[in-house]
Amino acid sequence: MYDFIIVGGGITGSALAYELAKKNSKVLLLEKDAISDNATRYSYGGLAYWSGITPINRQLCREGIEIHRNLSDELGSDTEFRELDLILYIPRETNPETVLKNYNKFEIEPKFLSVQEACEIEPLLNPDAISGVLKLPHGHINTEKTNQAYLNAFCRLGGKIQYEQVTQFIEKEQTIIGIETLENKYYAYKVIICAGGLTRSLLKQIGINIKIYFSNAQVIVTKPTDIKLKTLVMPAILKRLEIENKVTQAENENRWINPNTDILDGICEAGAIQFIDNHLCLGQISQFITDPYQKVDLIKSEEEIRQEIGQILPALKDIPGRLHQCLVAFSNNTQPLVGKIEEWTGLYTFSGFTSTLVFAPPLARHFGNWLIEGNDSIITQLEPIQSYK
Ligand X SMILES: Cc1cc2nc3c(=O)[nH]c(=O)nc-3n(C[C@H](O)[C@H](O)[C@H](O)COP(=O)(O)OP(=O)(O)OC[C@H]3O[C@@H](n4cnc5c(N)ncnc54)[C@H](O)[C@@H]3O)c2cc1C
Residues engaged in binding ligand X (CB under 6 A): 7-13, 30-33, 36, 38-40, 42-46, 165-166, 194-198, 202, 217, 219, 283-284, 326, 328-329, 351, 355-358
Query: Which amino acid, one-letter code, is at 214?
Result: F
Minimum CB distance to ligand X, residue 374 (Å): 25
Minimum CB distance to ligand X, residue 143 (Å): 6
Minimum CB distance to ligand X, residue 193 (Å): 8
Closer residue to ligand X (CB): 11 or 124:
11
Minimum CB distance to ligand X, residue 170 (Å): 14
CA distance 258 to 367: 31
Closer residue to ligand X (CB): 115 or 349:
349
Q: What is the dihedral of CA 7, 12, 18, 21, to 10 degrees?
A: -40
Closer residue to ligand X (CB): 115 or 344:
344
Minimum CB distance to ligand X, residue 3 (Å): 19
Do the Cβ atoms of 68 and 81 come closer than 8 Å? yes
Closer residue to ligand X (CB): 43 or 79:
43
Minimum CB distance to ligand X, residue 211 (Å): 15
Question: Which residue of this chain has its Cβ atom nearest to ligand X in the complex?
Answer: 10
Closer residue to ligand X (CB): 58 or 92:
58
Q: Which residues contact 218 (CB under 8 A, 6 or more apart)?
A: 283, 284, 285, 287, 296, 301, 305, 323, 324, 325
**DSSP assignments along 319-386, one per residue:** --EEEEEEEEEEESSSS-EEEEBTT-BSEEEEE--SSHHHHHHHHHHHHHHHHHHS--TTGGGSPPB-
Closer residue to ligand X (CB): 74 or 164:
164
Task: Kindly report the backbone phi and psi dihedral angles of residue 146, in degrees, each rounded to the nearest multiple of 5, phi listed first.
Answer: -65, -45
Do the Cβ atoms of 13 and 193 come closer than 8 Å? no
CA distance 92 to 90: 6
